[in-house]
Structure 1
Amino acid sequence: MITFDELIASFADHQNGVHKAVAPQEWSQGRTLYGGMSAALCQVAARQIVGAETPLRAAQFCFVGPAGGNLTGDAELLRRGKSTAIVEATLRTEQGIGTRAILSYGKSRESRIAQDTLKMPDVPPPSDCPWLWGKEPSRENITSFPANFDSRRAGGHMPLSEQADGELLVWVRHHRSAESDQTAALLALGDVLPPACVTMFAEWAPISTMTWSMEILADNIEVKDRWFLFKSVAEHTTDGYSSQAMYLWDEAGNPVIAARQNVTIFV
């Protein structure tokens, strides 16, 4: 089994700006890396250009095709200003583009304005919440990515419970502490749950994320094996597509990510 840190380190080692990896089954969902890991690898490629001192502020990911098998990644600096840098990163497979991303980095600046209305829901601590899937996941012979994470249900609905609306409220963390690129670790964590619309399903059906856009709301976020509260809400689901809002807070209640995702559903 390859760990998160091992995969990130392997991909970060590049030649002439080209990063390489083989998509491991234990970080995949079916025939593709799950979206969070594809995004994390795009961050690794972009970070080689930007440098470690400038935080990621926003990113947009388009999941063009399955990211499986032999992968290559590259990045291009689109613009660098006094405090910001915009980078395009692409994750490719032998069949073509897997993921294309635009990542926006920006250094902190002094400002008179400080505003925050993204208050964390009032929920029990992780230790008082049940496992999302009813029991601790088996970590032997991992065949898909969820077993690399801990997920405890803090509220919302259960997947496959035929609800009239879609909402997930779950504590999540890396099961094994992620010690390498903390922004990549955050991106990996930010896509660990299925789309919130699965709470409206009666049984599993194919789902595929098309686009994922996010804003990172804090500097120097330490992920490691810390808990984050993940809220995901399906706001509009019709004609085979679902639009959802996603938020992450740290255990202290600080907002960390605000995101949107558009997914296709086959049910």
Structure 2
Amino acid sequence: MTFAELLHAVHTRPHHVVVPPLWGQGRATFGGLVAALVYEAMRGKVTPGRPVRSLSISFIGPLQMGEPVAFEAELLREGKAVSQVLGKAVQNGQVVALVQGSFGASRESAVHVEQLPAPAMKAVEECQELPYIKDVTPEFTRFLAMRWGLGGMPFTNNPSREMGGWVRLRSDISHDKVSEAHLLALVDAWPPAVLSHLSAPAPGSSLTWTIEFVQPVAALNTHEWCLYHAQIEHARDGYGHIAAGLWSPSGELLAMSRQTVTVFG
């Protein structure tokens, strides 16, 4: 199933979605897909005209592939401009992902600060792509393309604080308009930047993730390359703290991300 087909499944059978093993990330499902599917359930609870402003995501346990999972959402409060929504993925009676989202309509304000500019990056054509290699790279990378322009790939003993390059979907046949669900997948496709500091393979995963979206989302389609840049702010005792941004091909800021990751090496 493609990314678009899985998003559609949340709307047609939200309590019985089965993610195929093709979307694996180790023993669990790719976290960016899990977050996107929960978000799809959440946005249906919100009054039209209130786009998502921020999501706070906790990965509580691994979502198992090949087994049914339910995506649930509850509207906690709807104010004059802002709606607060709680979403979760439930599998075998256990919550495996929990998402709290803030959706808000635009309002008049005297405050206007320009976006952070996109960092300098080599052109897409000059960057090395991470190929999908069965039993070597995560299964989900067959659906997302990443091209390295900055920092090291995982397990290359590269001490850089930074990691970045270009990313896009490569699975969907259609050139769909990019939504916030797509942005979740594009940001989380990248491995935790701390993994490049290791010299040998070791597990690592997101523990918590906060992501904020610039509204309205810039107009682009799923086959266009977006620029990703991450910086390690601190790492010790098996935990890393990473800030990142995602920009459109023309340099428009799309999303700002912060993750706490666990590293078992």
TM-score by length of 2: 0.90
Number of the residue aligned with 1:30: 26
C-alpha RMSD of matched pairs (Å): 2.0
- State the 1:89 CA deviation: 0.2
1:66-77 correspondence runs (5 A): 66-68=62-64, 69-77=67-75
* 1:6–1:231 distance in 2 versus 1, CA, 3 Å: same
Q: Is the aligned partner of 1:194 residue 2:196? A: no
Pairing 1:234–2:229 present: no
State how 1:248-263 maps to structure 2 within 5 Å: 248-263=246-261
Which of 85, 92, 95 is residue 94 of structure 1 equivalent to?
A: 92
Query: Which blocks of at least 5 consecutive residues in structure 1 are unaligned?
Result: none
Residue 149 of structure 2 corresponds to: 154
Take 2:97 and 2:177, find their aligned partners in 1: how far apart are those partners? 22
Q: 1:179 to 1:138 in 2, by over 3 A?
A: farther
Report what 2:6 is aligned to. 7
Residue 215 of structure 1 deviates from its aligned partner by: 0.9
Report how far residue 180 of structure 1 moved: 7.2
How many pairs are equivalent? 258
Deviation at 1:27, TM superposition (A): 1.4
For residues 97-143 of structure 1, the C-alpha deviation after alignment (integer angstroms, 9 at most, x for no partner) is 11000011111223232213521111232123221x3xx4369xx97
What amino acid sits opposite 1:64 in the alignment? I
Superposed, which structure 2 residues align to 1:138-217 within 5 Å? 144-177=139-172, 179=176, 182-217=179-214
**Partner deviation per Cα, 1:218-262 (whole Å, 9 max, x = no partner):** 313444222111111222111111111111111111111111101
Residue 180 and residue 10 in structure 1: after superposition, are their counterparts in 2 closer, same or farther (change >3 A)? farther
Instruction: Classify 1:204/1:166 alpha carbon distance in 2 versus 1 (closer, same or farther; 3 Å).
Output: farther
Could you tell me whether the CA contact under 8 Å between 2:146 and 2:166 is conserved in 1? yes
Q: Which moved more, 1:187-196 or 1:174-183?
A: 174-183
Give the stretch that moved more between structures: 106-115 or 87-96: 106-115
Distance 1:42 1:64 in 2: 13
Q: Secondary structure at the match of 1:105?
A: strand
- Distance in 1, matches of 2:19 and 2:91, equals 10
Q: Distance in 2 between matches of 1:77 and 1:223?
A: 30
Give 1:111's aligned residue: 109
Change (3 A) 1:106 1:223: farther
How much does 1:213 deviate?
0.5
Per the normalisation by structure 1, the TM-score is 0.89
CA distance in 2, matches of 1:181, 1:191: 15
Residue identity opposite 1:77 in structure 2: L
Q: Separation in 2 of the partners of 1:51 and 1:225? A: 29
Structure 1 residue 176 displacement after superposition: 3.0
Residue 219 (1) aligns with residue 213 (2): no
> For residues 55 and 32 of structure 1, do their structure 2 counterparts lie closer, same or farther at Cα, with a shift above 3 Å needed?
same
Corresponding letter in the other structure for 2:153:
M
